[in-house]
Amino acid sequence: MFDSYRSNTLQYDPVKCINCGMCTTVCPHAVFAPGENEVRLADYLACMECGACQMNCPTGAITVESGVGCAYAMFYAALTGKDEPTCGAGDDACCS
């Protein structure tokens, strides 16, 4: 109960993988690792759901509900009634 990061929305279908290696290149947490015929899901729990792998997978072998892991953005979204919390423009941005 005190580890909220035991699961995430990353899904990988090795059948669709063409072993291009883009996911291993773009992932900043080495979630994927090179394999013989297809990429291996090496460290699933390290995924922060940034979505870079899905964006750059040419065959759609990877899906992840990407978003910003920012409590401030979620509170802000809840208070203002916006559904998708993101960071960015405006003086209230949590990051710059």
Partner 1 sequence: MSGTIFTFTTPPVHPTTNHLTLSDHWDHLRARVGINRSGHLVEPGLYSLGNPTPDSPVFVTANYTLSFDAVRSSLDDWMKCYILVLDTKGINVWCAAGKGTFGTGELVNRIHITGLADKVNHRVLILPQLGATGVSAHEVKKLSGFRVEYGPVRAADLSAYLKTHKATPEMRRVQFNVIERLVLFPVELVKVLPYLLVISIILYFASGPLAAAGAAAAMLAGIFLFPILLPFIPTKDFSSKGFLLGGLIALPFALAAYRYGIEPAPCIHISRAITPMLLMPPVTAFISLNFTGSTTFTSVTGVRKEISTYTRVMAWMFASGTATLIILAILRITGW
Strands in 14-93 per DSSP E: 32-33, 40-41, 62-63
Q: Is 79 in the site for partner 1 (CB under 8 A)?
A: no
13 or 65: CB nearest partner 1: 65
Residues 6+ apart with CB under 8 A from 23: 31, 32, 39, 53, 56, 57, 62
13 or 59: CB nearest partner 1: 59
Least distance in Å: CB of 61 to partner 1?
13
Restricting to residues 10-69, name those near partner 1 by CB under 8 A: 22, 25-30, 46-52, 55-56, 58, 65-69
Task: List residues bridging with 32 in a β-sheet.
Answer: 41
Question: How many whole angstroms separate alpha carbon 27 and alpha carbon 87?
Answer: 20
- Residue type (1 letter), 24: T
Chain residues binding partner 1 by CB under 8 A are 1-5, 7-9, 22, 25-30, 46-52, 55-56, 58, 65-75, 86-91, 93-96
